[in-house]
Amino acid sequence: MPDSQPQPSDGATADTSALLLCGARLTDGRTVDVRLGGGRIEAVGTAGSLTPHCARVDLNGYLLLPAPAEPHAHGDTALTGDSPGPVSYAPEDVQRRATEAALLQLGHGATALRSHVRIGDVQGLGPLEAVLQARRSLRGLVDLTAVAVPRRLTGLAGADGLAMLRDAVKMGAGVVGGCPDADPDPTGYAETVLEVAAEHGCPVDLHTHGDDPARLARLAAMAGGLRPGVVLGPCAGLARLPHEVAARAAERLAASGVTVVCLPQGGCGGMELRGSAPVRLLRAAGVRVAAGGGALRDVSNPVGRGDPLEAAYLLASQGGLRAQEAYEAVAAGAREAMGLPEVRVEAGFPAELLAVRGERLAGVLSLAYSRIVVHRGRVVARTSAVREYCDSAVAVALELPRQGRS
C-alpha cells in the first residue's frame, strides 16, 4: 500500500490546514492531484500540476470517489447478535456499541450516518441519550444523526409516546420517524410524526415493509404531499408482490416525491421480512432510490457488515444496476436522502472522499479491501490489506500457461 500518512513536501513549510491527494484515479480515467483545505476541495489538476506546499497522501493505484453515507443504521442494537440473553439497553452499553458500530462503518467509507433509535417502553429515552453521547464523542471523525423511533403514537399508550417523541427532539434527535405498520392506527401514527416534524422543522424517516400496497400508497401520499424530503424504507415487501401491483405502488411513490431507502444486505426486520426492494422497478417508475446497510450484526442480521460498498455490490450483482448507478445509490443518493450537500471530486465541493485500491468502479465493488477515508478534508480512517502467495503456488501458476502452449 502506498504511504497514506500525510507527508510534508520538500523545500517549503507545509500548510497544516491543507492536504494534497496525489496521483488519484477518477472514474472517468483521469489521474489527478486533489488539494483540500477548509473542509472543501480547493483544486483538482493533472498529476503533478498542483503546488505541493502542504501535507501529501500518495493515492497512486487508488480510485478516488465521493464518500458514501449510511442512511439507515441501528446503532442502539448493533453488535448484539452474539450476546447471550436479552439485549442490554443500559446507556453505557448502547453508547459503546453505537460508537464501535459507527467506527466500523466509517472504516468502510461512510462519513455520515443516520441511526434509528427506539424510544419508549421501559428503556425510555436512555438509548437515545447514549447514541447522542456517541455522536458527541465521534465529532470530527464522522457525522452521526439520530432518528427518534417511538413504538406507539395512537390510543392511550400513544400519549406517552408522543410526549417522549417531543422530548427526543428537544434532546437532540435530528430526525423523527418510526414504523407506522406496528401501530394499531398506521395512518394516525404517520399523521402524528408529521405533526411533530412540522412543529420542530425536522426531516421525516419512516420505516415500512411495504407489503400492503394500499397502505403504502396512503402513507406515501400523506407524507410526501405534506412535507418534502420524506424518506421511506426499506419497502422490501414490494418485491413479494405481483409485478403489476408493485409497479402501481411504485408509480404512487414516485408521484408523492418520497425517497425510498432500500437495504440490499437483508433489511432490519425478522427473517420473514428479509429481502430488498425491487430497485430497478422503483427507478423505472421515477422513484428516488438510495441504499443503506441496515442491521449490523444484531438479531435481524447476525453477519451484517454495514459496508456501503457491499450494498452497492449487491445492487449491481443481484439488483441489476450498472456499477455507477449502484454506487450512486450509496453515495449521492444516500446523501440526498439525508439532506446532505452534494459531493463531487471538483473544486468547491465538500471534502468527503473515499479512496479505494483499484482502477475501475466495477472492480472496486467486486473486491474492495484497502481504503482511505477523508472527512472534512482530513484523513480519518485507513484500511490496508496485503495479499501474498507462497513460492510454490506462484511457480505452479507460472508453469500452467507454458504447459498449455506445448
Average pLDDT score, the chain: 90
Each residue's pLDDT tens digit, 302-311: 898 999 999 9
- Predicted confidence (pLDDT) per residue in 155-189, tens digit: 988 999 999 999 999 999 999 999 999 999 999 99
Identify which of 70, 66, 78 has the alpha carbon closest to the alpha carbon of residue 263: 70
Report the alpha-carbon distance of residue 66 to residue 59 in Å, rounded: 15
The alpha carbon of 362 is separated from its chain's Cα centroid by a whole number of angstroms, namely 19
Residue 341 burial (10 A CB sphere; 0-12, 13-18, 19+): exposed
Please give the grid coordinates belonging to residue 47.
498529476
Across the range 9-28, mean pLDDT stands at 75
CB 230 within 8 Å of CB 259: yes
Q: Which of the pair, 92 or 386, is modelled with greater confidence?
A: 92
| 2 or 259, higher pLDDT | 259
Go through 286-304 and write b for each residue having 16 or more CB atoms within 10 A of its CB, e for each that does not.
Answer: ebbbbbbbbbbbbebbeeb
Residue range 27-38: average pLDDT?
97
| More confident site: 222 or 396 | 222
Average pLDDT of span 132-157: 96
The domains found in the chain, sorted by start residue, are 15-66+343-383 (2.30.40.10), 70-337 (3.20.20.140)
Contact (CB, 8 A) for 168 and 202: no
* Cβ proximity of 78 and 23 under 8 Å: no
pLDDT digits (tens, 9 = 90+) for 106-116: 999 999 999 99
How many residues are recorded in the chain? Answer: 406
Of 27-36, 96-105, 151-160, which gets the smallest average pLDDT? Answer: 151-160
Whether omega before 234 lies within 30 degrees of 0, making that bond cis, reads yes
pTM of the model: 0.90
Taking the C-alpha atoms of residue 358 and residue 1, their distance in angstroms, rounded to an integer, is 11
Residue 328: per-residue pLDDT: 98
Q: How confident is the model at residue 278 (pLDDT cuts 50, 70, 90)?
A: very high
DSSP state letter for 8: P
The model's confidence at residue 287, banded by pLDDT at 50, 70 and 90, is very high
Give the pLDDT confidence score for residue 270 in this predicted structure. 62
- pLDDT reported for residue 60: 97
Question: What is the predicted pLDDT for the residue at 10?
Answer: 40
Q: Residue 48, CB half-sphere, CA atoms under 13 Å: how many?
A: 0
Q: What's the confidence (pLDDT) of residue 250?
A: 93
Instruction: Provide, rounded to the nearest whole percent, the portion of the chain with pLDDT above 90.
Output: 73
> Is the pLDDT confidence value at 105 over 50?
yes
Q: What is residue 309's predicted lDDT score, i.e. its pLDDT?
A: 96
Confidence tier at 405 by pLDDT (50, 70, 90): very low
pLDDT tens, position by position, 311-334: 999 999 999 999 999 999 999 999
